[in-house]
Structure 1
Amino acid sequence: MHELGVVFQAIKIVEKVAKENNLTEIESVTVEIGEVSTVIESYLQNCWKWSVEKKSDIMHNCKLYVEKIPAITYCEDCGNKYETVAYGKTCPKCNSTHTYLLQGNEFNIKEIEGC
């Protein structure tokens, strides 16, 4: 379960931002997770709840909000952009496998709400 490591890193970044901005408490954090990032949201939420309660004073009651980024693949042969999960690495328009992922593998901290 790599979600715990992801959470620890996110908390470290959020605490640094809080310190730089003289925040005394973090109310919520919004993250973006790519559809094919391998981060499982339910595991992430469980790790988050445990970590902020046990490991961070400034984030003790902090909520985690998750937004999904759809996975989109680009075909180099025909220029088609398509849903990765539905079609995988093969372009549904021309059946080419000369494709690459445009988006959907990210994990971003989008927003930090503090006071």
Structure 2
Amino acid sequence: MHELGIMFNVVRSVESFAQKNGVKTIATLVLQIGELSPVVPQYIEACYPAAVDGTLLQDTELKIEILPGNALCQGCGKVFNLLASGKQCPHCGGQSWEVLSGREFMIKEIVAC
């Protein structure tokens, strides 16, 4: 489970940001995770309490937004969701495509109290 290591890095980044900006309390941390990312949202949620224990984020609510795994079909030029379509363009049946989104893992928002 590499998600715990990822969350330790997120906590360090958020604490550094908070310190530089004089933020004393954080109410909510919002992460964005793409459907095609190797990071598993359920594992992030599971390891979050351990990663924030004893830190500035200890009492912070975690929110996760899932970003769609979209691709551009090289055959017809239409955008489609890779997972929903079984990695095949639902418009023309093409199997040649370029990933547009869904591999992301980002800190979207830090909500201070």
How does the TM-score come out when normalised to structure 2?
A: 0.89
Offset at 1:84?
0.7
Percent of matched pairs sharing the same residue: 35
Which of 30, 43, 61 is residue 63 of structure 1 equivalent to? 61
RMSD between superposed Cα atoms in Å: 1.5
Paired AA for residue 93 in structure 1: H
Q: Does 1:51 align with 2:51?
A: yes
Q: Which has the higher helix share?
A: 1
Quote the residue 1:99 is aligned against: 97
Equivalent residue pairs, number? 113
**1:44-89 superposed Cα distances (whole Å, 9 cap, x missing partner):** 01211111114x2x11211110111111111122101111102243
**1:82-102 superposed Cα distances (whole Å, 9 cap, x missing partner):** 111022433222232221111
Quote the residue 2:30 is aligned against: 30
Q: Work out the CA distance in 1 between the residues paired with 2:34 and 2:7.
A: 15
Quote the residue 1:16 is aligned against: 16
Paired AA for residue 76 in structure 1: Q
How does the TM-score come out when normalised to structure 1?
A: 0.88
Q: Which runs of 4+ in 1 moved over 3 A?
A: none
Q: Work out the CA distance in 2 between the residues paired with 1:4 and 1:32.
A: 16
